[in-house]
Chain A
Amino acid sequence: MAKKAKSRTITVRLISMAMTGFYRTMVRPRTHRPLSMLKYDPVVKKQVLFLEATKGGRNK
């Protein structure tokens, strides 16, 4: 039986680089480059860099 097709988009987790443990969840196309953006972190109450968390370091 054929395997189920992979979805076009994936859900990713953007982790705050302020090391607060805060993260945002986003959806991006599977083939897109990893997401990164400046966003507000409510723990430190500042806009900080959020980077996408890699699963086993696949994002290159």
Chain B
Amino acid sequence: MATPQAASSLASKLPTRLRNFFARYPPQIYSTTVRPPITVPKPAALAQAAAGAGAPNATTTTTTTTTTTTTTSSTSSTTPITDAITESLLPSPYTPNREAKGYQPPDHKYSDALLWKGPKGQLNPFLPRKLGERKWEGPRIGLRRQAELVKLARQFGVEELLPPSRKSAEYKEARRAENQGLAVKGTGVGQKVKGHKWERTMEARLEDRRKAMLEMPEMVRLWKQRGHGRGWKQWPKK
């Protein structure tokens, strides 16, 4: 959508905050549109949604991602030395080769792959940066401001001109597709919200009460007939 002519006309309509942002971080360098293609396959649920197929599929995201990582690990561990170490010399749990132990590179998830770090020398202002071994530098623009910018950009239809962010719609969608198990318990297909005990038993209790009230005139008549309780037999138990 970002042809130069359209961009210039669009820029005049944008609020100052967005214009300042795009001046500081030009879309042609930082935005999602210029991000290199993502090699990690999409989660199954997301791919289905994109295809428009409504049929439920049992394959989860983890299966697809693990297949890719295993292929990469097999290619990297084909050197004869590592093969020899992993197969003959060392007991199976101990191996210096992380990939042979099932280590997955940090961007094995589709949602992680979406968060492009930016072109070389130009860091994505929405992402934190690792300094050395243990130190981290926070993002130039924090999560709260990111959320504000993303919402504003969405309002003006230019969300994809922003750099990849944890607050972007595509990232949130990918996360939701990946972490289906972490959704609110009971709200999934075929699940039931447990609720409080008083909520679960409410229907039965109201039904009891309704029945008791229907029988009440007859009960009172009997009670009066039997001398106001003198000949009464069915006392309730405590």
Contact = CB atoms under 8 A, between A and B. Distances in A.
Given A36-B229, A57-B235, A60-B233, 20 more contacts: A17-B212, A17-B236, A19-B209, A19-B212, A34-B229, A36-B232, A37-B228, A46-B213, A49-B219, A49-B220, A49-B223, A51-B229, A51-B236, A53-B235, A53-B237, A53-B238, A54-B236, A54-B237, A57-B237, A59-B235
Contact of B235 (A20, A37, A38, A52): A52
B209 A18 contact: yes
Contacts of B230: 33
Contacts, number: 61
Interface of B: 205, 208-209, 211-213, 216, 219-220, 223, 228-230, 232-233, 235-238
A57 B233 CA distance: 10
Nearest to B212: A19
Given A15-B236, A51-B236, A54-B237, A44 B213 contact: yes
Contacts of B223: 36, 49
Contacts of A55: 238
Contact of A54 (B209, B216, B235): B235
B235 A18 contact: no
Nearest to A13: B238
Interface in A26-60: 33-38, 43-44, 46, 48-49, 51-57, 59-60
Contacts of A37: 228-229
